[in-house]
C-alpha cells in the first residue's frame, strides 16, 4: 500500500484545512511561496456534495504541484460519506480526511464535526461506510480521521478500521 506519510521529510509541515481559506488560489500562493509537506482542501459537506456535486467539485479542484493533497469532508450521514468518497476517489486525491472535530455551530447543529465526539455509534458507522467505499474504489488511498479530542477521551477500539 502506498503511504505518502512515510515518505515525507520530518518534521512535517502541513497546511491545515480551513473553511473559506484553503481554497485553490490560496493553496497555489502557498505552494509558490513555501510549499508545505502536505496540503488539505477546505472541508466539504458530504451531504452538500451529493446534492450538488458539480459545485462542490469546484471547491476540491487542485493541480499536481499541490501533491500530496488531502480532501477533507464532514457530515453526519454514513451513506453521504460513502457516496462522496466514491466521487472524491475519482478526483485522484492522495488521501481523504473525515472531519469529526469541527466546533462550528452550523456543523454541530446538524450532528457533524465535533458533534460526533462521544457519538461512537454514528462515528463508527461513518468510518465503516467510508472504509468500505475506499476499499471498493481504491484500496491504496489513505483514509485519515481527524478528531478534536480535547473535549473528552475518545475510544475507537469498538470500531474495526481494517
Encode pLDDT of 4-14 as tens digits. 888 888 898 88
In CATH terms, 18-146 corresponds, of 3.40.50.2300, 3.50.50.60, 3.40.50.10860, 3.20.20.70, to 3.20.20.70
pLDDT (mean) for 96-105: 89
Three-state SS for 108?
helix
The DSSP secondary-structure symbol of 116 reads: G
Does the pLDDT of residue 22 top 50, yes or no?
yes
Other Cβ atoms closer than 10 A to 149 = 11
What pLDDT score does 153 carry?
42
Does the pLDDT of residue 95 top 90, yes or no?
no
Torsions phi, psi of 108, nearest 5? -60, -40
Higher-confidence residue: 162 or 63?
Answer: 63
What pLDDT score does 34 carry?
94
Q: Quote the mean pLDDT of the chain.
A: 84
What pLDDT score does 148 carry?
44
What is the percent of the chain with per-residue pLDDT over 90, rounded to a whole number? 49
Higher-confidence residue: 16 or 61?
Answer: 61
What pLDDT score does 7 carry?
86
Q: Is-catalytic flag, 149?
A: no
Helices assigned H by DSSP within 8-162:
24-34, 46-51, 53-59, 78-90, 105-108, 120-137
The DSSP secondary-structure symbol of 24 reads: H
Does the pLDDT of residue 29 top 60, yes or no?
yes
What pLDDT score does 140 carry?
65
Does the pLDDT of residue 28 top 70, yes or no?
yes
Does the pLDDT of residue 135 top 90, yes or no?
no
Catalytic site residue from 39, 80, 102, 107: 102
The rounded distance, in Å, linking the Cα atoms of 67 and 39 is 7
Amino acid at each position: 500500500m502506498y503511504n505518502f506519510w512515510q515518505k515525507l521529510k520530518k518534521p512535517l509541515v502541513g497546511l491545515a484545512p480551513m473553511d473559506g481559506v484553503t481554497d485553490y488560489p490560496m493553496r497555489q500562493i502557498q505552494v509558490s511561496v513555501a510549499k508545505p509537506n502536505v496540503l488539505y482542501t477546505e472541508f466539504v459537506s458530504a451531504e452538500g456534495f451529493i446534492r450538488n456535486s458539480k459545485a462542490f467539485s469546484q471547491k476540491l479542484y487542485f493541480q499536481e504541484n499541490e501533491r500530496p493533497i488531502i480532501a477533507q469532508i464532514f457530515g453526519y450521514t454514513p451513506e453521504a460519506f460513502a457516496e462522496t468518497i466514491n466521487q472524491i476517489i475519482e478526483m485522484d486525491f492522495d488521501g481523504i480526511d473525515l472531519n469529526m472535530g469541527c466546533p462550528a455551530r452550523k456543523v454541530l447543529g446538524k450532528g457533524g464535526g465535533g458533534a460526533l465526539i462521544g457519538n461512537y455509534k454514528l462515528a463508527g458507522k461513518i468510518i465503516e461506510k467510508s472504509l468500505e467505499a475506499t476499499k471498493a474504489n481504491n484500496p491504496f488511498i489513505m483514509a485519515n480521521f481527524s478528531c478534536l479530542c480535547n473535549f473528552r477521551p475518545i475510544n475507537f477500539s469498538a470500531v474495526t478500521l481494517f
